[in-house]
Amino acid sequence: MLIGKYLSHLLVGGLMLALGAGLNSFSDGPKSFKPEGFIFEKELEVALSPEEAFDAFTGDVTSWWDHHMSEAPLRMEIEARPGGKFIEIFDEAGNGVVHADVTHANRGEKLVMRGPLGLHGTAIDLVQNVDFEKVEGGTRIRASFHLAGEIDEQVAAIVSSVWDHFLLEQYAEHVKSM
């Protein structure tokens, strides 16, 4: 009985050793990265009511959101409701990508999205808070961006400049035509 127990431990140990050796042959081992975190803010005033500014920022954003994963997306949409998605639909077959999840939506006041946007495939958490505040002559839009994870200062600077482009150029031009 004791020999059988010893043999079974030996066999299990040998099997685990063999499996471990086999697994190591398929991997270079873990690679690490130094997690970083960054926050940046943007502000813009538009001549729309907070509700109009919110509506222009959500829904079908294909006309002003010009960074996408497909060459010519069929549709890009921010579903302005808790549990909604910021989606890019590539084609009629429904292929596409989720850029972010909507975690807070209060029309004319606040939109919060969480997701990698164009940084798919990296260990990153990006939370975008967009506040709509009534001011004389329209709405002040304050956006803050909180990035954490597999990101460095260079990537953070690129993300910040891309949001300058989206908010201060593309969105600003879009709402002027309304």
CATH of residue 145's domain is 3.30.530.20
User: Are residue 127 and residue 98 in the same domain, yes or no?
Assistant: yes
Domain carrying residue 144: 32-176
pLDDT for 119 equals 73
Shared domain for 73 and 112, answered yes or no, is yes
Number of domains present in the structure of the chain:
2
* 96/71 same-domain check: yes
User: pTM for the complete prediction?
Assistant: 0.78
Mean pLDDT by 10 residues, the chain (178 residues): 41 40 57 82 96 97 87 93 96 94 98 86 87 98 92 83 91 91
Looking at residue 28, its pLDDT comes to 72
pLDDT at position 69 is 79
Query: Residue 35's pLDDT is what?
Result: 78
Q: Indicate whether 76 and 142 sit together in one domain.
A: yes
Residues 121, 171 within the same domain:
yes
- Whole-number pLDDT of residue 26: 53
37 and 23 share one domain: no
Per-residue pLDDT at 108 = 98
pLDDT of residue 10: 37
> Amino acid letter at 96?
G
